[in-house]
């Protein structure tokens, strides 16, 4: 099963945020952001932090294929 974070990037655009802003607000590492950019698996802790900051649910930021 592969993951796709295109929904996350679209949501960031809609909110006027960049990846750098997301990293700063969530406290995520650059490595975690890079994994998201490559559609690699990340921990649920990372996804929870993102959802908490953006006020969304998992299905708003990730697709499984």
Confidence grade of residue 65 (pLDDT, cut at 50, 70, 90): confident
Nearest one of 40, 14, 3, 42 to 26, comparing CA atoms: 42
Distance CA 1, CA 17 (A): 29
pTM: 0.91
> Would you state the pLDDT for residue 21?
96
**pLDDT for 39-62, tens place per residue?**
999 999 999 999 999 999 999 999
Residue 24 in tokens: 């700063």
């Amino acid at each position: 099963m592969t993951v796709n974070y295109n929904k996350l990037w679209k949501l960031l655009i809609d909110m006027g945020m960049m990846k750098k802003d997301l990293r700063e607000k969530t406290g995520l590492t650059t490595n975690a952001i890079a994994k998201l950019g490559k559609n690699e698996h990340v921990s649920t802790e990372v996804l929870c932090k993102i959802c908490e900051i953006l006020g969304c649910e998992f299905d708003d930021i990730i697709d499984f294929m």
